[in-house]
């Protein structure tokens, strides 16, 4: 199987909705060259897993993806990932893959369906030293613009615990009901988001 080409994102101004804080890089212009957003590669997997393990195990005791699964997705579909690097250090990431059914299933946790039109967001995490700075919000908004700019991708889906539903609603996600996926004793709400509006924002920011 051939490996898809990796799409690097050129720097572009962020158009964030009201209520979402700007990144420190936008507030202090002299730090902009130190901030880089790019798709991840298998070589980034160890750094991704280190952040993911600390972020998720400390809260829920489970990681959405193990290290082999991180490498798996970064090999098959790196264009559906996005990392935020500060002075060359990974500080936040999103890992995604394509899915081809209306709702998520247990299989969707580990599969990439190249013919799918749905970007399934498996994990979003921020390094502990960079939390409470709005980085997760900025990264998610930029990711949705990036995914919406890919012609085959029409929508984004994810599953989250009930406490996080209001956070994702700020970005255009809406609850689709209880998720069929269960991890141990944890249950989730499935969230859907149309990417049409985000694609338009991406095109405008590229002008």
Domains of the chain by residue range = 35-194
143 as an active site residue: the answer is no
pLDDT of 148 strictly over 90: yes
Catalytic residue (one of 81, 97, 108, 137)? 97
DSSP 195: -
Q: How many CA atoms lie within 13 A of 69 on its CB side?
A: 18
> Is 40 considered catalytic here?
no
Average pLDDT over residues 74-102: 97
Q: Is residue 3 pLDDT above 70, yes or no?
A: no
Distance set, CA 194 to CA 95, 102, 119 (Å): 18, 13, 10
Catalytic residue list contains 122: yes
- The pTM assigned to this predicted structure is 0.80
Which of the following is catalytic: 80, 124, 140, 158?
A: 124
Give the pLDDT band of residue 173 (cuts 50, 70, 90): very high
Q: What are 157's strand-pairing partners?
A: 120, 192
| Whether pLDDT at 23 is above 80 | no
For 145, counting Cβ atoms within 10 Å of its Cβ (0-12 exposed, 13-18 middle, 19+ buried), the class is buried
- The question of whether 16 is a catalytic residue gets the answer no
Answer for the pair 188, 164: CB distance below 8 angstroms, yes or no. Answer: no
- Dihedral angle at the C-alpha atoms of 134, 192, 8, 43, nearest 10 degrees? 80
CA 190 to chain centre: 15
Q: What is the pLDDT of residue 47?
A: 97
pLDDT beyond 80 at 39: yes
CA distance 30 to 179: 44
| Residue of 109, 111, 194, 205 marked active site | 111
Mark whether 124 is an active-site residue. yes
The residue with greater pLDDT, 197 or 86, is 86
Mean pLDDT over residues 145-157, rounded?
A: 95
Active-site pick, 72, 120, 122, 192: 122
pLDDT attached to residue 60:
67
CATH number of 35-194: 3.40.630.30
Q: pLDDT tier at 115 (50, 70, 90 boundaries)?
A: very high
Catalytic one of 121, 168, 198, 201: 168
């Amino acid at each position: 199987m051939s490996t898809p080409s990796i799409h690097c994102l050129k720097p572009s101004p962020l158009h964030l909705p009201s209520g979402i804080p700007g990144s420190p890089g936008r507030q202090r212009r002299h730090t902009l060259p130190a901030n880089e957003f790019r798709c991840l590669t298998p070589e980034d997997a160890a750094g991704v897993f280190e952040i993911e393990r600390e972020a998720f195990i400390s809260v829920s005791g489970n990681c959405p993806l193990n290290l082999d699964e991180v490498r798996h997705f970064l090999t098959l579909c790196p264009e559906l990932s996005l990392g935020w690097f500060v002075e060359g250090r990974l500080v936040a990431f999103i890992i995604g893959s394509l899915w081809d059914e209306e709702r998520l299933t247990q299989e969707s946790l580990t599969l990439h369906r190249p013919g799918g039109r749905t970007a399934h967001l498996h994990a979003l995490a921020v390094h502990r030293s960079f939390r409470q700075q709005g980085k997760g919000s900025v990264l998610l908004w930029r990711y949705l613009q990036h995914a919406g700019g890919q012609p085959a991708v029409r929508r984004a889906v994810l599953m989250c615990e009930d406490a996080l539903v209001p956070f994702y609603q700020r970005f255009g996600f809406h609850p689709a009901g209880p998720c069929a996926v269960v991890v141990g004793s944890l249950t989730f709400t499935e969230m859907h988001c149309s990417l049409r509006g985000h694609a338009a924002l991406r095109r405008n920011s590229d002008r």
